[in-house]
Amino acid sequence: MVITDFLERNSKLYPDDVALVEINPLAMPKSWREFGLIESSPGAKYRQSITWREFDRKANRFANLLLTRGIKKGDKVAILLMNCLDWLPVYFGILKTGALAVPMNYRYTAEEISYCMDLSDSTNLVFGPEFVGRVTAILDDLSYVKNFFYVGSDVPEFADDFQKMVQYCSSFAPAVDLNEDDYAAIYFSSGTTGFPKAILHTHRALLSSCRTEQNHHGQTKDDVFLCIPPLYHTGAKMHWFGSLMTGGKAVLLKGVKPEWILKTASDEGATIVWLLVPWVQDILDTIERGEINLEDYKLDQWRLMHVGAQPVPPSLIQRWLKVFPNHQYDTNYGLSESIGPGCVHLGVENVRKVGAIGKAGYLWETKVVRPDGTEVGKDEVGELIVKGPGVMKCYYKNPEATNEVLKGDWLYTGDMAKLDDEGFIYLVDRKKDVIISGGENLYPVQIEDYLRAFDKIKDVAVIGLPDKRLGEIAAAIIELKPGVTCTEDEINLFCEGMPRYKRPKKVIFATVPRNPTGKIEKPKLREIYCGGRLVEQQITG
């Protein structure tokens, strides 16, 4: 069995049921003007949908188009699209040919697009209107690319019109022999440690993510999954795989404003919503400021809110559960190297353990180990390692980096963690982010969690700055809530509840940059604050 078999099964069992819905608030009806938006250009649609039959046929047509262009098993086809109704059919169309799908971050610069295309050996590119300028700028560098498929209107001269060409292709599945051990996809590391690495996965890994996700969250045919994060990332797609496995409806929301999220959940009957930490914060802040009245929305059916992709502050979830006491809460931990979320899983039954990332997920094993590979004791910090069917095959074309993180069947995550007396795992920090100050190990996540409890702080990141005496000191980059005034003295006074050695030695009021999956971009902060380019402090948010 391979991942595309689920799509073909759903097409036969639920041909007329809605598979995917796209909501574009910027093309909203006039009734949405109260949110201060302007209707987009004529012809833009606020809501579009496709059934499981249409989904499968669209994937088949693209697969057959690729085959007519000479694409064969083992070739690489890159995807550079914003979330849209075509994204997943394109992805599955590639898989049906036996080629490898290579999703790319929509924030990549032209240079990064060129780098990732070359690194992954991608000889074909599917891209949308948002990327015309970037792709045009590197056309000379992409001279080896055989096909450019364009999804949108106003097709560039160098590209083929995706919509026009697929309509002439067969809607029957191509006869390509696939098995679980075939290579299926290349994903890229998030880039929080420099240029991304290419992560190679098999169909077996994709299948395992379906099974893990459905086991953890109990999706049924009746569930409706609201998907907001970008589909190029393993997190969003692998959470959606629970809907794929059960034939449930999924909704792609193109926007993250709190009122958009709540209205879409209400209108579409969402039962499962996966959020990132900044969006949770924004929703709660908007509600607390009285800008949203929950009575305006139908949210009784919303049963599960889960957060992932980064450490989750316990204080944030406690706030959420006060506002939404009937919600189940869950968090999942994972990496692109472990085919996304789920290798560690909290479980809705363990809400009392908010703050932990959980225990080994379904089909997974975990350990927390010392540098010599022996397992740590209770409350001792070590490196989290995981083993399971979703572990990557390798970093593509990078054996040295592969050997650093793959030791036998175990994947060394680079995340520092500890265990409590019940075996729950608590994330402490990234191995590379640990600050060594005067011989003491400081874990930025612990300091960040403490600071987030201060009611004036919207977001915070802690990094190490060079210090002649101590080697490094902890610096807190603090983003204040809108309209709030705060001083460094207030921050220092609040930090008196921490052990002295953990307190930040420097406070900087500035914006905290995050990537599309919600992770703090600490390399960017180190470049700004450790590279001699300290920005001017902002005392008000």
Sequence-ordered list of residues with C-beta below 8 angstroms from that of 173, at least 6 positions apart, any chain: 4, 8, 56, 60, 63, 96
What is the Cα–Cα distance from 64 to 173, expressed in whole angstroms? 8
* CA-wise closest residue to 106 among 140, 139, 83, 133: 83
Given a contact cutoff of 8 angstroms between Cβ atoms, the answer to whether 126 and 90 are in contact is: yes
What is the Cα–Cα distance from 149 to 66, expressed in whole angstroms? 10
Domains of the chain: 4-33+45-255 (3.40.50.12780), 303-430 (2.30.38.10), 434-530 (3.30.300.30)
What is the Cα–Cα distance from 124 to 251, expressed in whole angstroms? 28
* Helix, strand, coil fractions of the chain, as percent rounded to 5: 35, 25, 40
What is the Cα–Cα distance from 232 to 255, expressed in whole angstroms? 16
Q: Which residues pair with 427 in a beta bridge?
A: 417
In tens digits, the chain (541 residues) has pLDDT values of 999 999 999 999 999 999 999 999 877 655 543 443 333 434 457 899 999 999 999 999 999 999 999 999 999 999 999 999 999 999 999 999 999 999 998 888 898 899 999 999 999 999 999 999 999 999 999 999 999 999 998 999 999 999 999 999 999 999 999 999 999 999 998 654 457 899 999 999 999 999 999 999 999 999 999 999 889 988 888 899 999 999 999 999 998 899 999 999 999 999 999 988 778 888 999 999 999 999 999 999 999 998 876 667 788 888 999 999 999 999 888 889 999 888 999 999 998 898 899 999 999 999 999 999 999 998 898 999 999 999 999 999 999 999 999 999 999 998 889 999 999 999 876 667 778 776 667 878 888 888 988 989 999 999 888 877 677 889 999 999 988 999 999 999 999 988 787 899 999 999 998 876 667 888 788 888 876 444 333 333 3
Q: Which residue has the tokens 């994972």?
A: 334
Cα separations in angstroms, 141 against 112, 117, 137, 144, 257:
12, 10, 9, 8, 37
What is the Cα–Cα distance from 509 to 478, expressed in whole angstroms? 5
- For 445, the token pair is 């996540």
| pLDDT value of residue 435 | 85
Sequence-ordered list of residues with C-beta below 8 angstroms from that of 257, at least 6 positions apart, any chain: 25, 35, 282
* CA-wise closest residue to 76 among 61, 85, 66, 88: 66
pTM across the whole model: 0.82
